[in-house]
């Protein structure tokens, strides 16, 4: 079937706008693919002629989510150390422009996962490579045949499912160095690779901890894509379990792009009935402003290895409220620098919210402890040192 409108089936009336919109969208997609193909040929020639040390970074996308942010941070650190990073992704996104602003060549190709010839050429030219997320399994296996690979994994339940695939199994065994973003992730991979290293993310703090006790209502944010894994439905149900006075004492706002529309429609309808706001998807600047405006950050996920928002909350010294199924808790001391729900269901999150309300007077103390935990485990300096250690293991002669 053709993927473009046929002249013989041109609609009339109200359907014309939809027909034109669809046709325009298809043309824009084709134009983007053509531009990416031209840029790939140009940039590939430039990279292969450049005698400086290169590192290839392959990621699953370049959206505003946590995985692309890590690629951006790693590229920045490599540049600081005099290395030339080259990034490849099957999907374009906002972080592509940010990387190009650093002078990084970014290759966009929907076929990245099939390891096209240009990926093999870049891998052969690179001193070593980084593959980011389980979605780069096929690339990791191919690239590892040409240069040493550091594979950085972050998933938990998804990782467990993918490891049943013999090709993923082979990729795990074939890379030189394997990192896991949290203990939850490492537990899934350790039976295959006992040498897996738990490496928490490192980012720059977004601001300073507050010094004043927050007023009611407690401004609380949930940041993340709207999908079952992130547990927004559990948080909304938890709000329903609170008394009316307790609900009035919490100003809860959901932020994030919609990944599962039927799920989101149901959750947001129930949220509105309880006075819970939805502020939509944020660009990075709006995200920084929104999280800085909170008193508390709630991570309600059913399964989350080490969400960046939890680290940002620690760096800002905000009250961090975690489901027990979030890997960040492994680095923290409940009741001191974090509050953790007694269970991952709605009842457990309701208890967590009540605990946060009862401890609002301690918010500055908890926030200061949170910032100390951030500095100890999640600072950019600590992450840079871990990346340099890995580079020393992986570096091959030019």
Residue 23 neighbours by CB distance under 10 Å: 13
Which of 345, 27, 370 lies closest to 205, judged by CA? 370
**Residue 229 is assigned to a structural domain of this protein:** yes
Alpha carbons 355 and 338: distance in angstroms, whole number: 11
**Residue 44 is assigned to a structural domain of this protein:** no
Indicate whether 193 and 274 sit together in one domain: no
Antiparallel, parallel or unpaired: β 84-89 and 105-108: parallel
**Residue 150 is assigned to a structural domain of this protein:** yes
Indicate whether 133 and 258 sit together in one domain: no
Indicate whether 247 and 370 sit together in one domain: yes
The residues with which 151 forms a beta bridge, in sequence order, are: 131, 178
Full pLDDT tens readout for the chain, 398 residues: 344 444 444 555 556 666 556 665 655 555 555 566 667 778 777 778 888 889 999 999 999 888 899 999 999 999 999 999 999 999 999 999 999 999 999 999 988 888 788 899 999 999 999 999 999 999 999 999 999 999 999 988 889 899 999 999 999 999 999 999 999 999 999 999 999 999 999 989 999 999 999 999 999 999 999 999 999 999 999 999 999 999 999 999 999 999 999 999 999 999 999 999 999 999 889 999 999 999 999 999 999 989 999 999 999 999 999 999 999 999 999 999 999 999 999 999 999 999 999 999 999 999 999 999 999 999 899 899 999 999 998 986 55
Indicate whether 140 and 234 sit together in one domain: no
Tokens 């309880």 found at: 274
For residue 396, the model assigns a pLDDT of 66
Number of domains in the chain: 2
Question: What is the CA 82 to chain-centroid distance, rounded?
Answer: 26
CA angle at residue 145 from 143 to 147, to 5 degrees?
65
Read off the tokens for 82. Answer: 């005099």
For residue 50, the model assigns a pLDDT of 84
- Give me the sign of the Cα torsion angle 115, 116, 120, 126: negative
Asked whether the beta carbons of 79 and 57 are under 8 A apart, the reply is no
For residue 3, the model assigns a pLDDT of 44
For residue 11, the model assigns a pLDDT of 54
**Residue 299 is assigned to a structural domain of this protein:** yes
Measure Cα distances from 299 to 96, 222, 255 in Å. Answer: 27, 6, 12
Indicate whether 78 and 179 sit together in one domain: yes
Alpha carbons 313 and 332: distance in angstroms, whole number: 13
Indicate whether 166 and 246 sit together in one domain: no
**Residue 1 is assigned to a structural domain of this protein:** no
Task: Give the residue numbers spanning the domain of 327.
Answer: 218-378
For residue 14, the model assigns a pLDDT of 57
Measure Cα distances from 67 to 91, 164, 166, 233 in Å. Answer: 13, 23, 24, 24
280 Cβ neighbours under 8 A, 6+ residues apart: 255, 256, 257
The CATH number that applies at residue 196 is 3.40.50.2000
Asked whether the beta carbons of 302 and 228 are under 8 A apart, the reply is yes
Alpha carbons 193 and 59: distance in angstroms, whole number: 21
Q: Report the helix count and the strand count for the chain, using DSSP H and E.
A: 16, 13
**Residue 63 is assigned to a structural domain of this protein:** yes
Conformational region of residue 317, where left means phi above 0, alpha means psi within -120 to 50, and beta covers everything else: left
Asked whether the beta carbons of 317 and 211 are under 8 A apart, the reply is no
Indicate whether 274 and 351 sit together in one domain: yes
Asked whether the beta carbons of 295 and 361 are under 8 A apart, the reply is no
Indicate whether 90 and 197 sit together in one domain: yes
């Amino acid at each position: 079937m053709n993927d473009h409108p046929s002249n013989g089936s041109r609609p009339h009336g109200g359907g014309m706008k939809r027909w034109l919109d669809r046709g325009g969208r298809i043309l824009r997609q084709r134009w983007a693919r053509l531009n990416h193909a031209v840029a790939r040929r140009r940039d590939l020639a430039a990279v292969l002629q450049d005698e400086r040390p290169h590192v290839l970074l392959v990621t699953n996308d370049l959206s505003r989510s946590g995985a692309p942010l890590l690629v951006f941070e790693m590229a920045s650190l490599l540049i600081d150390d005099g290395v030339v990073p080259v990034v490849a992704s099957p999907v374009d996104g906002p972080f592509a422009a940010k990387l190009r602003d650093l002078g990084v060549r970014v290759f966009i190709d929907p076929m990245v996962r099939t390891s096209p010839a240009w990926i093999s050429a870049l891998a052969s030219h690179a001193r070593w490579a980084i593959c980011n997320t389980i979605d780069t399994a096929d690339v990791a296996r191919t690239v590892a045949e040409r240069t040493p690979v550091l594979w950085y994994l972050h998933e938990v339940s998804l990782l467990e499912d993918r490891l049943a695939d013999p090709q993923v199994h082979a990729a795990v065994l074939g890379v030189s160095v394997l990192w896991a973003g949290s203990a939850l992730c490492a537990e899934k991979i350790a039976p295959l690779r006992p040498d897996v290293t738990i490496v928490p993310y490192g980012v720059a703090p977004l601001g300073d901890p507050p010094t004043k006790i927050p007023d009611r209502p407690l401004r609380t944010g949930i940041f993340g894509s709207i999908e079952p894994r992130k547990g927004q439905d559990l948080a909304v149900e938890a709000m329903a379990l609170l008394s009316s006075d307790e609900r009035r004492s919490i100003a809860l706002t959901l932020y994030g792009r919609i990944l599962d529309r039927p799920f989101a429609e149901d959750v947001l309808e129930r949220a509105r009935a309880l006075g819970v706001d939805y502020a939509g998807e944020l660009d990075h600047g709006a995200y920084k402003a929104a999280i800085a405006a909170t008193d508390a950050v709630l991570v309600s996920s059913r399964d989350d290895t080490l969400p960046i928002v939890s680290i940002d909350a620690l760096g800002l010294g905000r009250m961090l409220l975690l489901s027990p199924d979030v890997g960040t808790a492994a680095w923290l001391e409940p009741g001191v620098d974090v509050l953790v729900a007694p269970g991952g269901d709605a009842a457990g999150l309701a208890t967590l919210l009540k605990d946060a309300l009862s401890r609002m007077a301690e918010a500055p103390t908890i926030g200061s402890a949170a910032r100390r935990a951030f500095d100890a485990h999640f600072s950019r300096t600590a992450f840079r040192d871990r990346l340099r250690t890995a580079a020393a293991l992986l570096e091959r002669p030019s």
